[in-house]
Amino acid sequence: MNPTCRGCGHALKHKAKYCARCGTPAADARVCPSCGIANDAGDNFCYACGEALVGGSPPPAPRRDSARVRWLAAGILLGAVLSGAGALGWWLLDR
């Protein structure tokens, strides 16, 4: 037996999040307060925009370590160049 729409009573298709007739969200769908997208009943955050569906903190922002890696690589490269220049200077002075 398929569930029915709570708005118009129309039979909902399997795993439908909205009623095809009136557009009412299915009873087990949680509608995002920010973007209006229907999410699964167990979701805590909207899959479309990341907004919290229940009270709580937003999902953590992805870490951006690329700048740190670039600075580290630049420091290593600079250290290698300076060491090479120093060794070359000592070699030239010894001649």
pLDDT tens digit sequence for 38-67: 887 778 888 888 888 876 555 556 666 777
**Whether the Cβ atoms of residue 4 and residue 21 lie closer than 8 Å to each other:** no
Whether residues 46 and 82 share a domain: the answer is: no
Asked if residue 85 and residue 48 are part of one domain, the reply reads no
pLDDT category of residue 31 using cuts at 50, 70 and 90 = confident
Number of domains in the chain: 2
pLDDT greater than 80 at residue 28 = no
Q: What percent of the chain has pLDDT over 70?
A: 86
Same domain, 52 and 72: no
Measured between alpha carbons, how far is 95 from 3 in angstroms, rounded to an integer?
91
User: Are 3 and 45 in the same domain?
Assistant: yes
Per-residue pLDDT band for 13 (boundaries 50, 70, 90) equals: confident
**Domain match, 6 and 51 both:** yes
pLDDT given for residue 59 in this prediction: 53
Residues 52 and 17 occupy one common structural domain: yes
Read off the pLDDT of each residue in 61-75 and give the average, rounded to a whole number. Answer: 79
Looking at the structure, tell me whether residues 93 and 69 fall in a common domain.
Answer: yes
pLDDT at 81: 94
Distances (CA, A) of 31 to 15, 23, 26, 35, 45: 15, 12, 9, 8, 10
Same domain flag for 6 and 23: yes
Q: What is the DSSP letter of 52?
A: B
Tell whether 49 and 86 lie within a shared domain.
no
Residues 6 and 33 placed together within one structural domain of the fold: yes
Is residue 91 over pLDDT 80? yes
Could you tell me the residue range of the domain that residue 33 belongs to? Answer: 1-56
